[in-house]
Amino acid sequence: MSKSLQAIRGMNDILPEQTPLWRYFEGTVARLLDNYGYRQIRMPIVEFTELFKRSIGEVTDIVEKEMYTFDDRNGDSLTLRPEGTAACVRAVLEHGITGGGQVQKLWYIGPMFRHERPQKGRYRQFHQIGLEVFNLDGPDIDAELIVMTWRLWGELGLRDAVKLELNSLGTSESRGRYREALVEFLSAHLDKLDEDSQRRLKTNPLRVLDTKNADTQAVLADAPKMADYLDDESRAHFEGLKARLDAVGIPYVINPKLVRGLDYYSKTVFEWVTDKLGAQGTVCAGGRYDGLVEQMGGKPTPGVGFAMGIERLVLMLEALDKVPEELARQVDVYLCAFGEAAELAALALSERVRDQLPNLRLQINAGAGSFKSQFKKADKSGALYALILGDDELAQQVVGFKPLRGQGEQQSIAWDALAAHLATCVVQG
């Protein structure tokens, strides 16, 4: 096939076989966020390039090498969003909805774009559900974010497969002092650091902690620890968070090397990781970013948030066999009509039934096809019941009602009684 007729590498179609699981996942998260009082916000997919450079940080993987950037027709530099926080902060500032200390608890869902090497769990267009909370500065809200995700893993059956890693990056002052100590230590081991880390040491030294290079990791084992440099306020905040997680019984491990790939974090950072997906093990990540809003031109506004990767979580549900059985069945009732007059009656009848049972998943197969072929389709659809409407049924104003799964005789049901009958035998979600 010619290349222009293929999807772009790392950008996937999500086929009809896969969308039920996506919708199940997305629906579960949306319901949970609704229940905790979070409100959805929808931002554009494209923003000015400058927005991402300013918020994410110039010396980050995303800004240095992963952004899809292009010139608009008028010469403006635009970028397909690589993450949601920057745009969300831009939106709340632009609309003034965090002014005067107004609390906002927001969530969003949608595609993100990063030019990375495509592999399992890592794509160039991928999807996130993220949330951001503004104007709450206590550890209670950091805890709420984590508690909500813990509940989500519970609902999805994933609790045993994920692990929570926590760290505190402190305030910018304490991080500054730590940075100095780290630079001093790493400079003394410069020759043992990988090339990227040598460069980062000059531009963004904390990012060295995030290295995947084994030699550099070995050097880091003896490096100074952020925990020893935390200011009292950050320390108290971190203790407050841990106490709340303990109160709910959420297990965690402290990972002193957890710094996250974006520059804007302060105090709490966390990741939910799994060993079920190979190298792409982080399924949800976030933290506090108390300085970001101000850095982007707003009044000082505390913020905290996270984002989860939908592809990775969908992969996990599949890998661990946590796909709910009912997803296999997308049709409750399949109506087969034979003959022109019967088809008309079937359409009118099905609309009457839908009026009374708005949640019924009824598929109608009007159109050509022998009895046998229509029945095959009914069976293949996964429906629980087939309805049959031919000339005989038409004359008597009934339908044949045939259970497709398990035993049960075919019976005749009057049109007027059909909705009531279906209501008793189809459990509606």
84 vs 298, beta carbon nearer ligand ATP: 84
C-alpha to C-alpha distance for 137 and 114, rounded to whole angstroms:
30
Q: Which of 142, 311, 332, 393 binds ligand ATP (CB under 6 A)?
A: 311
Nearer of residues 93 and 273 to ligand ATP, judged by Cβ: 273
Residue 167 contacts ligand ATP per CB under 6 A: no
How far apart are CB 250 and ligand ATP at their closest, in Å? 18
| Residue from 280, 295, 330, 363 binding ligand ATP (CB under 6 A) | 280
Q: Residues near 291 by Cβ (< 8 Å), separated by ≥ 6? A: 172, 264, 266, 300
Closer of 290 and 311 to ligand ATP (Cβ): 311
User: Which tokens go with 289?
Assistant: 């970013």
Compute the half-sphere exposure of residue 2: CA atoms within 13 Å on the CB side of its CA. 2
Question: CA-CA distance, 347 to 59, in Å (whole number)?
Answer: 61
Q: Which residues neighbour 191 within 8 Å (Cβ) at sequence distance 6 or greater?
A: none
Q: Which residue has the tokens 């399992």?
A: 120
Per-residue tokens: 134: 């503004």
- Going from the C-alpha of 198 to that of each of 215, 217, 226, the distances in angstroms are 12, 13, 20
Nearer to ligand ATP by Cβ, of 139 and 309: the residue is 309
106-125 footprint of ligand ATP as x/- string (CB under 6 A): --------x-x----xxx--
Residue closer to ligand ATP by CB (options 87, 307) is 307
Q: Which of residues 49-108 bind ligand ATP (CB under 6 A)?
A: 83
Instruction: For residue 292, give the H/E element and its range.
Output: helix 292-295
Q: Hey, what are 403's tokens? A: 């259970």
Of 129 and 378, the one with the shorter C-beta distance to ligand ATP is: 129
Among candidates 88, 79, 82, which has minimal Cα distance to 113?
82
Which among 88, 84, 244, 233 is positioned nearest to 166, based on CA atoms? 244
In angstroms, rounded to a whole number, what is the distance separating the alpha carbons of residues 315 and 120? 9
Q: Candidates 307, 314, 333, 426: give the one binding ligand ATP (CB under 6 A).
A: 307
Contact 317, 325 (CB under 8 A): no
Q: Least distance from C-beta 367 to ligand ATP, angstroms?
A: 41
DSSP state string for 319-331:
HTT---GGGG---
Question: With respect to ligand ATP, which residue has the nearer C-beta, 185 or 252?
Answer: 252
Task: Work out how close the CB of 155 gets to ligand ATP at its nearest, in angstroms, rounded to a whole number.
Answer: 18
CB of 181 to ligand ATP, least distance (A): 24
Q: Among 146, 152, 186, 283, which residue sits at the site for ligand ATP (rule: CB under 6 A)?
A: 283
By CB under 6 A, name the one of 149, 211, 282, 350 that touches ligand ATP: 282
Applying CB under 6 A, the span of 27-35, 249-257, 280-288, 327-335 interacting with ligand ATP comes to 280-288
**Across the strands, what pairs with 288?**
266, 304
128 binds ligand ATP (CB under 6 A): yes
User: Least distance to ligand ATP from the beta carbon of 130, Å?
Assistant: 8
Nearest distance from residue 418's CB to ligand ATP, in Å? 46
Q: Which residue, 117 or 372, is less far from ligand ATP as judged by CB? A: 117
- Choosing from 206, 285, 314, 426, the residue that interacts with ligand ATP (CB under 6 A) is 285
Q: CA 59 to CA 314: how far, in whole Å?
A: 31
Q: Rounded to whole angstroms, what are the CA distances from 240 to 127, 148, 254?
A: 32, 17, 14
For position 415 contacting ligand ATP by CB under 6 A, the verdict is no
Q: How many angstroms from the chain centroid is the CA of residue 199?
A: 33
Footprint on this chain of ligand ATP (rule: CB under 6 A) = 83, 114, 116, 121-123, 126, 128, 261, 280, 282-285, 307-309, 311-312
